């Protein structure tokens, strides 16, 4: 019995040492991947990296990590005409991550995630300066906000001799087409006394924001209006975390 107790104590101690070594190793690896990702993507801050699954050391021995989570705050994505659009919170979950021994390169078989663009940031893509939509009549977008039920509320200011200056709002649908977020008004406002062609007003109410060069090559998938901005789903395959 004494020998059995000693054996159990030894096993517990060895198990504890293995767990401690495993956690130290995963902490080191997370830091290495985060530093490589920051360098690869030219990030201003170091991203959050979490390597999930236990034990970590057996995953290392196999050369593939089961599940890696990455979080990037205030990511500046490329937009149209050399401009940039700020993504407040980009998070991705990577599956089947193959890596080199020194973590100098790492590629995920698949990735899914979410990103958020604040309404104030998306507003930059709209025509926020008064634009003539008919002789003597100007209009421009003054605000974007949550319209409920997945819609964007677009605030407009229209100025015309007949009606003076009027504040209006319309509900718009947001969608993804390729690498672009598109905002399109469901129905145009009724401006009594003004004869405006639908196309002229839609040049103001409808707009789009291109989003290129997301980290690792992930692509836009879906988008929906939310309380503080548009929430975007992203996905990709053969996503490069570092290299």
Q: What is the pLDDT of residue 14?
A: 47
Cβ contacts of residue 70 below 8 Å, gap of 6+? 37, 47, 48, 49, 91, 92, 94, 113, 215, 241
Local mean pLDDT, 10-residue blocks, the chain (243 residues): 51 55 82 83 86 84 86 84 83 87 77 93 88 83 93 90 83 93 86 62 88 83 93 89 63
Number of H helices, E strands in the chain: 4, 12
Residue from 120, 109, 114 nearest 143 by CA: 120
Beta-bridged to residue 170, according to DSSP, are 154
Q: What is the pLDDT of residue 239?
A: 83
Q: What is the pLDDT of residue 99?
A: 78
- Residue 126 CA to residue 142 CA, distance in Å, equals 9
Copy the structure tokens of residue 71. 């979080």
88 CB burial (10 A radius; 0-12, 13-18, 19+): middle
Residue with tokens 């089961």: 66
Decide if 98 contacts 242 (C-beta within 8 A): no
Q: What is the pLDDT of residue 60?
A: 81
């Amino acid at each position: 019995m004494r020998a059995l107790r000693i054996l159990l104590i030894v096993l517990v101690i060895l198990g504890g040492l293995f767990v401690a070594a495993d956690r130290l190793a995963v902490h080191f690896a997370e830091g290495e991947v985060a530093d490589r990702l920051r360098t690869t993507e030219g990030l201003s801050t170091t991203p959050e990296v979490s390597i999930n699954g236990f034990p970590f050391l057996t995953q290392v021995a196999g050369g593939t990590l089961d599940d890696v989570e990455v979080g990037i705050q205030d990511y500046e994505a490329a937009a149209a005409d050399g401009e940039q659009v700020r993504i407040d919170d980009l998070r991705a979950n990577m599956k089947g991550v193959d890596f080199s021994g020194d973590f100098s390169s790492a590629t995920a078989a698949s990735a899914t995630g979410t990103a958020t663009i604040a309404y104030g940031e998306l507003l930059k893509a709209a025509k926020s300066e008064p634009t003539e939509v008919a002789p003597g009549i100007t209009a421009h977008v003054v605000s974007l906000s949550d319209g409920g039920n997945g819609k964007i509320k677009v605030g407009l200011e229209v100025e015309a001799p007949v009606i003076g200056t009027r504040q209006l709002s319309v509900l718009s649908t947001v969608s993804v087409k390729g690498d672009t977020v598109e905002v399109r008004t469901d129905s145009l406002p009724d401006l009594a006394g003004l004869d405006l062609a639908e196309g002229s007003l839609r040049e103001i109410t409808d707009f789009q924001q291109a989003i290129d060069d997301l980290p690792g090559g992930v692509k836009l998938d879906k988008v929906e209006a939310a309380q503080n901005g548009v929430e975007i789903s992203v996905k990709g395959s053969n996503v490069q975390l570092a290299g």
